[in-house]
């Protein structure tokens, strides 16, 4: 069983406890357990099989460890079954609608008998919600909007979940003897933020045997189709996977076809037609003769193009750029030299500065910035000026003990509603690295929000604008501001824009990376790590940067420690 299933059970328990108005501490422990399990790199099934002690995991005590074993054995646990009897089965789904908390869900259920997302949509559409206590027309409007967002995201999973699923599936496919070669195409290969389903191309001379081997994969819940061309399955976590059998001489053409995007492929097909060629999933043809098809490189070459990285295949000018030999030389994970956004135990992180430094060094980094929250973020225990000074001293003492590694004393300071920073200028001036972020009042009008951010950018003490749009994918819309004015101000003031690599943020989004690059703004790819394992999220930020056409020189944290130090020396 996949960890995702166990995480989902804990998440559902927390949802129900919340609607029932149970103890907040209890709710949080299930939420945390869900997150801990979801973030593990090792599967719990393996850990249990190897006799490892689950209570060594953060936030997992004896009781939760027992439940994990119960879920592994039965797919569910008694507590969830009992809780579900106390509420309609689909009521907790309402919590996934943006703006609906447990209190409102309870009211909707008790007053209007709403039991599902379908009921909610009907009631909101009929204008029945605005008259409820504490709701009003605005809440009703927000619910309709939230439902629309949820629908557009339905059936899509985040890039990290997809990457985890691919890794697990890959281990299985590598062991199937009849599978000679396999590769994932589709939006996963283009590294989109969310993935609808997985397209896996398979080369296998003995297709029957290969299909048998593929279908032996344990996390398969349902077999949707099985034929000589294609095997389709649904995995337990709800992800659909299409395995397509492809011949050797067509593998490259099929990879191009199934990688997409559709818009990119249309432009390529037109280019082929102009050359009296025909491009499809079986190859590039002149009449009936196959001119190319075995590799992507040879198909592109036959169209007078260099190979185009999958992340660029969105019909955003990549084919013209390729034709003019002006494709960017995209930044790569191996170019990253350090991480400039991480939280420690001083606020809401799980590890000490020293532990973060050691973990960063293990990953081959030369530096890491400890950027804990400022006082406005009370929920995370944000630091006030005196605490931050002490904390920075402590970070510097740790740094003094580190040989050949730079632990930057930094902060993630809040940008207050009026554009002031949440800490005195003097304190911020004394730090090595200042990230400024919006964590509140996300719905300010565009003009006010623009002024707010411009004030921070022009403060003279900020190095980087953290998660600039403040969005949470599928849950919180991006804040609205005049993008060009803010980017221009960043360029003038030498302030970087962050690409936050946290999988539900991925902020700056790719199209804005491209815009910022065109405007001459430097970017920073950061994980916003709250624990050591988060440092490995860097790859998802790099994917966004690549989709945004960024080269190594566009990304500040590709600099060596010594170059970074020179760059940051305040003039």
Interface residues with Zn ion (CB under 5 A) are 412, 437, 528
Q: Is 433 helix (H, G, I), strand (E, B) or coil?
A: strand
- Order across the sheet with 220-226: list the strands: 181-184, 198-203, 240-245, 230-235, 220-226
Q: Please state the closest distance from residue 344 (CB atom) to Zn ion, in A.
A: 11
b (16+ CB within 10 A) / e for 507-539: bbbbebbbbbbeeebbbbbbbbbbbbbbbbbbb
Please say whether the beta carbons of 172 and 217 come within 8 A.
yes
- The residue (of 67 and 471) whose beta carbon lies closer to Zn ion is 471
- The residue (of 351 and 437) whose beta carbon lies closer to Zn ion is 437
- The residue (of 43 and 437) whose beta carbon lies closer to Zn ion is 437
- The residue (of 437 and 558) whose beta carbon lies closer to Zn ion is 437
Reference 7, options 40, 35, 49, 28; nearest CA is: 35
- The residue (of 64 and 377) whose beta carbon lies closer to Zn ion is 377
Cα–Cα distances (Å) from 207 to 369, 396, 549, in that order, read: 51, 61, 39
Q: Is 205 helix (H, G, I), strand (E, B) or coil?
A: coil
- The residue (of 232 and 355) whose beta carbon lies closer to Zn ion is 355
Q: Please state the closest distance from residue 433 (CB atom) to Zn ion, in A.
A: 12
- The residue (of 140 and 412) whose beta carbon lies closer to Zn ion is 412
User: H/E/C letters for each residue in 333-366?
Assistant: HHHCCEEEEECCCCCCCCCCHHHHHHHHHHCCCC
Please say whether the beta carbons of 367 and 561 come within 8 A.
yes
- The residue (of 311 and 528) whose beta carbon lies closer to Zn ion is 528
Q: Please state the closest distance from residue 421 (CB atom) to Zn ion, in A.
A: 14
Q: Please state the closest distance from residue 449 (CB atom) to Zn ion, in A.
A: 16
- The residue (of 231 and 350) whose beta carbon lies closer to Zn ion is 350
Longest dimension (CA), the chain: 77
Structure tokens at 31: 């939420």
Cα–Cα distances (Å) from 134 to 137, 147, 334, 474, in that order, read: 10, 20, 52, 25
CA atoms within 13 A on the CB side of 280: 8
Count of other CB atoms within 10 angstroms of residue 47: 18
Bridge partners for 241 per DSSP: 198, 233
- The residue (of 202 and 360) whose beta carbon lies closer to Zn ion is 360
Q: Please state the closest distance from residue 300 (CB atom) to Zn ion, in A.
A: 40
Please say whether the beta carbons of 498 and 505 come within 8 A.
no
Residue 59, Cβ density class (10 Å: 0-12 exposed, 13-18 middle, ≥19 buried): middle
Residue 547, Cβ density class (10 Å: 0-12 exposed, 13-18 middle, ≥19 buried): buried
């Amino acid at each position: 069983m996949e960890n995702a299933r166990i995480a989902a059970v804990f998440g559902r328990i927390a949802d129900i406890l919340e609607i029932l108005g149970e103890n907040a501490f209890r709710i949080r422990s299930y939420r945390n357990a869900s997150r801990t399990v979801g973030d593990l790199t090792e599967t719990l099934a393996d850990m249990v099989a190897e006799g490892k002690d689950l209570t060594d995991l953060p936030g997992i005590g004896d009781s939760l460890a027992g439940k994990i074993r119960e879920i592994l054995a039965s797919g569910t646990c008694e507590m969830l079954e009992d809780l579900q009897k106390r509420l309609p089965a689909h009521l907790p789904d309402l919590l996934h609608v943006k703006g609906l908390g447990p209190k409102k869900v309870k009211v909707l259920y008790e007053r209007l008998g709403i039991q599902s997302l379908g009921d909610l949509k009907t009631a909101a559409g009929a204008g029945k919600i605005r008259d409820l206590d504490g709701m009003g027309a605005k809440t009703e409007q927000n619910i309709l909007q939230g439902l629309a967002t949820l629908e557009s995201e339905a059936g899509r999973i985040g890039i990290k979940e997809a990457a985890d699923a691919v890794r697990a599936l890959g281990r299985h496919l590598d062991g199937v003897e009849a599978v000679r070669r396999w590769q994932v195409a589709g939006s996963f290969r283009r590294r989109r933020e969310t993935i609808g389903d997985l397209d896996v191309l398979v080369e296998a001379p003995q297709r029957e045997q290969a299909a048998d081997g593929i279908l032996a994969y344990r996390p398969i819940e349902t077999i949707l189709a099985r034929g000589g061309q294609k095997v389709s399955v649904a995995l337990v976590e709800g992800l659909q996977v299409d395995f397509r059998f492809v011949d050797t001489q067509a593998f490259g053409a099929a990879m191009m076809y199934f990688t997409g995007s559709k818009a990119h492929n249309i432009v390529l097909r037109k280019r082929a037609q102009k050359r009296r060629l025909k491009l499809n999933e079986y190859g590039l043809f002149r009449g009936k003769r196959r001119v190319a098809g075995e590799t992507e490189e040879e198909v592109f070459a036959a169209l007078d193009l260099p190979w185009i990285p999958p992340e660029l295949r969105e019909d955003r000018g990549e084919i013209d750029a390729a034709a003019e030999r002006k494709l960017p030389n995209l930044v790569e994970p191996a170019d990253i030299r350090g991480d400039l956004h991480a939280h420690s135990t001083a606020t809401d992180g799980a590890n000490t500065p020293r532990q973060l430094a050691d973990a960063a060094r293990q990953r081959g980094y030369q530096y890491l910035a400890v950027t804990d929250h400022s006082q406005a973020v009370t929920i995370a225990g944000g630091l006030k000026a005196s605490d931050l000074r002490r904390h920075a001293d402590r970070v510097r003492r740790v740094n003094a003990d580190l040989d050949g590694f730079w632990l930057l004393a930094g902060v993630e300071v809040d940008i207050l509603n009026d554009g002031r920073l949440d800490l005195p200028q003097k304190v911020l001036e004394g730090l090595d690295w200042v990230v400024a972020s919006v964590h509140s009042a996300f719905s300010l009008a565009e003009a006010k929000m623009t002024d707010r951010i411009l004030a921070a950018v022009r403060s003279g003490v900020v190095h980087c604008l953290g998660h600039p749009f403040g969005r949470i994918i599928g849950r919180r819309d991006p804040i609205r501001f005049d993008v060009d004015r803010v980017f221009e101000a960043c360029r003038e003031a030498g302030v970087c824009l962050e690409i936050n690599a946290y999988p539900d943020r991925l902020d700056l989004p790719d199209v804005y990376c491209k815009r910022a690059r065109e405007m001459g703004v430097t970017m920073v790819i950061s994980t916003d790590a709250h624990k050591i394992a988060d440092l490995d999220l860097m790859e998802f930020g790099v994917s966004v940067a690549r989709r945004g056409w960024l080269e190594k020189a566009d990304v500040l944290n590709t600099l060596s420690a010594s170059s970074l130090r020179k760059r940051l020396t305040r003039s």
